[in-house]
C-alpha cells in the first residue's frame, strides 16, 4: 500500500493524526480543561522547594531583602548624592521586590519545558501547562513578598493611602506580561539549549536598565534618547508605577500606564501564539 | 508483507511511512569558532532510528513488536503515542494512544503520591476524579509503604509499576506497552497482564513490545518485526516469531 492510500484510508475512517497541533482555540480549551494539572504542579513544586531548605518560603522574602541591603549599601556609598533618589530605602525595597517577580518568572519559564523532559516524553497534555504552572507558582510566592514589602514600607514611615490599592491592578497587569515572557523563553530554550546559560545575563541587563537602585529620570536627564529607551522597558514602568502609588516623591506619568498595558497585551498575545506554534516540537529531542 | 489480507474491521492506527531521526551531540565537542556556532554543527550526528515503517492496525487486535535492542521499536511506539513527531510520514489514530514505558520517574523530586495525582490530572481526569482514583492506583501498584518517598529514590521496577498503575487507571482504546511488564516481579506481571487483556477485550488495540517471545505468543495474534529501523516482517504471530528465532 502506498503512502497516499494510507492517508486516504485514515481520512475515510475518521482517523486523526496523532500529536498534531490542535487549532488555536481548541488548544486553549484543552488547556483550560486541564488547568487543575498546572495548579497542582505549581503547588507541589512550591511545597518541594519549601521542604528543601530550613527557611523554606522565608527565602522568597529574604532574597530581595538581602539584595536590597547589599546593593543599597554599596551603591548608596558609591553613587553621588545627586543621582540618589529621595526616600532611598523605600525606593530600593520596592525596586527589588517587584524585579524579583520578573526575574524568577523569566528563569522559571526558561526551564519549564527543558527541565521536565521525562514528563513531556511520557504523557500527552498541552505543553503550555508547564510554563503556566511556573507563573502560577511565582504568583503564589508573590503574595507573601508583597505583604512583607508593605510591612517594610509602613515601618519606614510611608503614609498609607487609598492609592496603595492600585498595587493590585499593576501586579495583575505584570502577571500578564510575565506569562508572555515565560511562554516565549520556554519555547526559545527548547530550540537553543544554550540560552539557559544566557538567561541570568539577560536578567542582569534588565536589572541595571530598570533603575532599581538609581533614578533613571535623574541619571539620564541629559540623554533624551537613552531616557526614552529606558522608559520603553516595561519592567521599569511596572516598578515606577508601584513606586508612584506607594512611595512618596515618585510622580506617575501617563506613559508608564500606556507602556505597561501595551507591552503586557503584546507580549502575552505573541507568547501564546508563539508557544502554540511549536507544540509538536516539545520533547522531540 | 501481508498487505493482501485486507481486513474488513475498522482500522484504529495507521502508520504511514514513518521516519524518525534523532539529533545527538556525538562527542560533546564545542563549536570550533564563533562562525561554526551559526552554521550547522559538525559534531551533531543524525541517528536515523526508524526508516519508513508503514502498517495498519485494527480494532480488537493485539500486536506484538519484536526486534533487537536499538532497532527502533521504542521510537516507533513513542511516535504512535504522539510523544515524538516523525521527521516525515505520519501516524493516524482513532483516539489518543497511551504509552506505558519504563522511562524514569515523572517528576523525580516529588513523592510517589504526588506523581499519582499529577499523572491522573495530566491524563485528563478532574481533580475530584484524580483523588477518587488515587487509592485504586496505589493499591494496584502495591507501593503503599513507599508512596511518600520522592520518586527519584525508587528502583526502576518500582517506578515502572507506579507509572503502569497510573496509566491503566484510565480506559484507553489504544494501548502501547513498552517492556513495562518485564521489570515487575512475578506477582505484578500476572496482575498487569490480566489488566492488559481486560483493556484489549473492551474493544481496544494493544501493542506489546517485548523480548519475551513467550509473553508475545501468549497475548498477541499478530507480530511486527522491526530490524534496523525497517519493517522486516508483519504477519501471524507464530510465523514471525519463528522467523525471528531462526535469524538470531
pLDDT of B5 reads 47
Inspect the interface and report whether the beta carbons of A121 and B83 lie closer than 8 Å.
yes
Backbone torsion region of residue A265, taken as left when φ is above 0, otherwise alpha when ψ lies between -120 and 50, otherwise beta: alpha
pLDDT of A131 reads 95
Inspect the interface and report whether the beta carbons of A118 and B54 lie closer than 8 Å.
no
Spell out which residues of chain B touch residue A116, defining contact as CB-CB under 8 Å. Answer: 107
Strand partners for B90: B16
For CA atoms A27, A30, A35, A36, give the dihedral sign: negative
Inspect the interface and report whether the beta carbons of A18 and B101 lie closer than 8 Å.
no
Domain assignments of chain A as residue spans, ordered by start? 23-281
| DSSP helix/strand/coil, A117 | helix
Q: B184 burial class (0-12, 13-18, 19+ CB within 10 angstroms)?
A: buried
Inspect the interface and report whether the beta carbons of A116 and B81 lie closer than 8 Å.
no
Inspect the interface and report whether the beta carbons of A119 and B106 lie closer than 8 Å.
yes
Q: How close A137 gets to chain B, by Cα (Å)?
A: 15
pLDDT of B3 reads 45
pLDDT of B184 reads 66
Spell out which residues of chain A touch residue B90, defining contact as CB-CB under 8 Å. Answer: 7, 17-18
pLDDT of A226 reads 84
- The pTM of the full predicted model, rounded to 2 decimals, is 0.82
pLDDT of A174 reads 95
Interface list for A 95-134 with B (CB within 8 A): 116, 118-125
Task: Count interface pairs A-B at CB distance under 8 A.
Answer: 122
Q: Mutating which of A6, A49, A280, A282 best tests the B interface, going by the most B Cβ atoms within 10 A?
A: A6
pLDDT of A257 reads 92
Chain A residue at shortest CA distance from B31:
A194
- Summarised one tens digit per residue, pLDDT across range B53-73 is 888 988 888 899 988 888 888
pLDDT of A285 reads 57
Residues of chain A with pLDDT under 50: none
For CA atoms B238, B243, B246, B248, give the dihedral sign: negative
Residues of chain B with pLDDT under 70: 1-8, 25-43, 101-105, 180-184, 203
Amino acid at each position: 500500500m502506498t503512502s497516499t492510500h494510507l492517508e486516504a484510508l485514515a481520512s475515510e475512517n475518521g482517523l486523526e493524526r496523532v500529536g498534531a497541533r490542535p487549532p488555536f482555540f481548541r488548544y486553549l480549551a484543552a488547556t483550560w480543561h486541564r488547568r487543575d494539572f498546572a495548579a497542582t504542579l505549581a503547588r507541589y513544586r512550591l511545597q518541594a522547594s519549601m521542604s528543601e531548605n530550613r527557611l523554606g518560603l522565608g527565602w522568597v522574602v529574604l532574597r530581595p531583602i538581602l539584595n536590597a541591603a547589599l546593593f543599597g549599601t554599596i551603591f548608596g556609598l558609591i553613587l553621588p548624592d545627586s543621582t540618589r533618589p529621595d526616600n532611598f530605602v523605600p525606593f530600593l525595597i520596592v525596586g527589588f521586590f517587584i524585579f524579583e517577580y520578573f526575574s524568577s518568572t523569566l528563569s522559571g519559564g526558561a526551564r519549564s519545558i527543558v527541565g521536565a523532559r521525562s514528563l513531556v516524553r511520557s504523557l500527552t497534555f498541552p505543553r503550555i501547562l508547564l510554563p503556566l504552572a511556573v507563573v502560577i507558582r511565582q504568583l503564589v510566592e508573590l503574595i507573601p513578598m508583597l505583604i512583607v514589602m508593605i510591612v517594610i514600607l509602613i515601618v519606614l514611615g510611608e503614609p498609607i493611602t487609598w492609592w496603595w490599592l492600585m498595587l493590585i491592578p499593576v501586579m495583575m497587569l505584570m502577571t500578564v506580561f510575565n506569562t508572555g515572557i515565560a511562554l516565549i523563553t520556554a519555547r526559545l530554550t527548547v530550540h537553543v539549549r544554550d540560552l539557559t546559560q544566557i538567561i541570568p545575563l539577560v536578567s542582569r541587563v534588565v536589572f541595571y536598565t530598570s533603575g532599581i537602585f538609581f533614578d533613571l529620570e535623574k541619571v539620564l536627564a541629559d540623554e533624551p534618547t537613552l531616557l526614552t529607551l529606558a522608559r520603553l522597558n516595561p519592567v521599569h514602568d511596572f516598578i515606577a508605577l508601584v513606586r508612584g502609588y506607594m512611595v512618596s516623591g515618585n510622580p506617575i506619568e501617563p506613559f508608564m500606564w500606556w507602556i505597561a498595558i501595551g507591552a503586557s497585551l503584546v507580549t502575552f498575545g505573541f507568547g501564546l501564539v508563539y508557544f502554540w506554534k511549536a507544540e509538536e516540537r516539545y520533547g522531540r529531542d | 508483507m501481508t498487505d493482501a489480507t485486507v481486513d474488513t474491521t475498522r482500522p484504529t492506527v495507521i502508520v504511514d511511512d514513518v521516519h524518525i531521526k534523532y539529533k545527538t551531540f556525538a562527542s560533546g565537542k564545542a563549536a570550533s569558532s564563533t562562525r561554526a556556532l551559526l552554521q550547522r554543527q559538525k559534531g551533531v550526528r543524525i541517528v536515523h532510528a526508524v526508516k519508513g515503517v508503514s502498517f495498519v492496525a485494527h480494532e480488537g487486535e493485539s500486536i506484538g513488536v519484536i526486534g533487537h535492542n536499538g532497532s527502533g521499536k521504542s521510537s516507533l511506539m513513542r511516535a504512535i503515542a504522539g510523544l515524538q513527531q516523525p521527521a516525515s510520514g505520519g501516524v493516524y489514530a482513532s483516539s489518543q494512544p497511551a504509552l506505558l514505558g519504563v522511562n524514569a520517574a515523572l517528576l523525580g523530586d516529588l513523592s510517589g503520591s504526588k506523581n499519582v495525582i499529577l499523572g491522573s490530572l495530566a491524563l485528563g481526569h478532574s481533580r475530584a476524579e484524580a483523588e477518587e482514583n488515587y487509592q485504586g492506583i496505589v493499591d494496584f501498584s502495591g507501593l503503599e509503604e513507599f508512596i511518600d518517598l520522592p520518586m527519584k529514590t525508587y528502583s526502576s521496577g518500582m517506578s515502572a509499576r507506579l507509572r503502569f498503575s497510573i496509566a491503566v487507571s484510565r480506559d484507553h482504546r489504544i494501548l502501547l506497552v513498552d517492556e513495562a511488564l518485564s521489570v515487575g516481579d512475578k506477582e505484578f506481571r500476572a496482575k498487569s497482564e490480566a489488566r492488559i487483556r481486560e483493556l484489549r477485550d473492551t474493544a481496544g488495540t494493544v501493542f506489546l513490545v517485548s523480548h519475551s517471545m513467550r509473553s508475545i505468543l501468549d497475548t498477541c495474534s499478530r507480530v511486527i518485526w522491526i530490524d534496523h529501523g525497517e519493517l522486516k516482517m508483519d504477519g501471524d504471530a507464530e510465523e514471525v516469531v519463528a522467523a525471528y528465532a531462526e535469524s538470531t
